[in-house]
Structure 1
Amino acid sequence: MSKITIDTDTSRATPKPKPGKRMTAPAIMARKQDGKVDEPLVMLTAYTMRMAQLLDAHCDMLLVGDSLGQVIYGLDSTIPVSLEMMCAHGAAVVRGSWHAMIIVDMPFGSYEASPQQAFESASRIMKETGCAAVKLEGGEAMAETVRFLTSRGIPVMGHVGLTPQAVNMLGGYRARGRDDAEEDKILADARAVAQAGAFAIVVEGVMEEIASAVAKASPVPVIGIGASKDCDGQVLVTEDMLGLFERTPRFVKVYHDLADQISGAVATYADEVRGRRFPTAAQTYRRKG
């Protein structure tokens, strides 16, 4: 493994870090007292150093999600995402941040076989990225793995409800909790993961009342995505909420139409290049004297 060092005095992409301490798993857990969080936790996804720099000051946590498969690589699902991809992007996000807690998704196939396999994958992620925690999908079935990792010094964020890595078993991305059996499973999964030692749990794509019940019952913070405002925090895919895609899930609020702005800027650039109006004297070098 090679270690990359960047000179913050000369690199335009890496400004000097602002003083302060990073958020930690104990700090996140401590935000929930007596079953509630006074100020909801803020989490967004980040896959690159520059995006991490822009998000860091505003977020408690940055998630290097395996959603990078679709967002960055144009894949159909998260299933093909590799451990190498997660390590590379995780390291970039860590380098671009100094305040938020960085959590890296464990990709499909890197942890399900056994707790031992999960430890090997998680320890590699933490060594190669410098992140503070990993996230894995699954409830009761993964409780033993969560307990194995946390007892060996690896903070774990759980993920229940709609679990994208299980899309083939679930039959698609539809919201979960449409009947009593699914509701019972979601509640049991969240309870099992919390009891196993997870410091927080993502609840994705479930009926609002179920997400509210999970948040109320959970001793650790519950982060919602397509869930409920009653959750202890919220997470979205950054590129979705910035309006970079034409289609987004129902649960996404688009806060800015960045796609149109980028397209407009590039159209202006292309027009100036073709009309020989760029570059001008301000963007070229000339001898003095």
Structure 2
Amino acid sequence: MPQEGNVPSSNSTSSDPSVFFLTGIPGLEDMHLWISIPFSSVFAIILLGNCTLLYVIRTEPSLHKPMFYFLAMLAVVNLVLSTTTVPKILSIFWFNSREINFSACLVQMFFIHSFSMMESALLLAMAFDRYVAICNPLRYATILTNSVIVKIGLAALVRAVVLMAPLPFLVRRLPFCQSHVIAHCACDHMAVAKLACADTRINSIYGIIIAFFIVGLDLMFIALSYVKIIRTVLSLASKEEQLKAFGTCVSHLFAILVVYLPGVLSSVIHRFGEQIAPYVHILLGTFYLLFPPMMNPIVYGVKTKQIRDRVCLIFQGKSI
């Protein structure tokens, strides 16, 4: 099949070292237009769902609580993650616009990885919120004050920026003397680094350390919170009280599954699925970026009565 547009072959060198090319879904180039339909639909749902969620939380007084402030932060993270990746992906699918400036690629890489880390931190913050609400209900208002919520949000942002800031510099220092064709829809760290004609072990080790120790710690503390929550709930006298307490955690548990399961699945397949076609890895990696931002507002919209009622009023053209 002939090369489309201005994309050089994977074995060629580029005359301009500042220009790279994204392949989209390698092996499925003929289907890019069809693949763009679910991608654009998901993007529309992400924009509509998260913007609606932010509006509802801002305008509904009963939602001015710590859990929903964290949810609003999560919605902002979801919007940033999707808007830094999907427009370029769609331009590849629709217009074969595969060229990307190397600096723009590094910026996209930083946003993808730093805001993914923020997403994990906010899920941990929401687990802490549920722990305080169920295990220390009388101290809830004094522990999770507005200033504490702001500090938690800033801490999540600073942690992500500080830990992900080295990634662009680790990639920029590498020499790219051969192919400039990135076999991906977006500028993933290792997808770019493996094009270098130099040793990339530092990049690989740093990425593994971040993934296992930082995200792993978040998951460990989330699990610890829920162990304490379950012990407290099971000590309640009546089944009705137990179900009510568990009911306040359902949305958050769904959000945890939505964020972490695709990532674990993608990681396992990437490392052990050597016989799987490359386009499956790319689709899973992209799915991991887009599925949580799409599902989070849906999960909370369905499971939270205040949000559900307010959204119904908005779409019926009524006011409260």
Task: Please tell me the TM-score bracket, short chain as reference.
Answer: under 0.3
**Structure with higher RCO (Cα < 8 A, 6+ apart):** 2
- Which structure has more strand as a fraction of its residues? 1
- Which structure has more helix as a fraction of its residues? 2
TM-score by length of 1: 0.23
TM-score by length of 2: 0.22
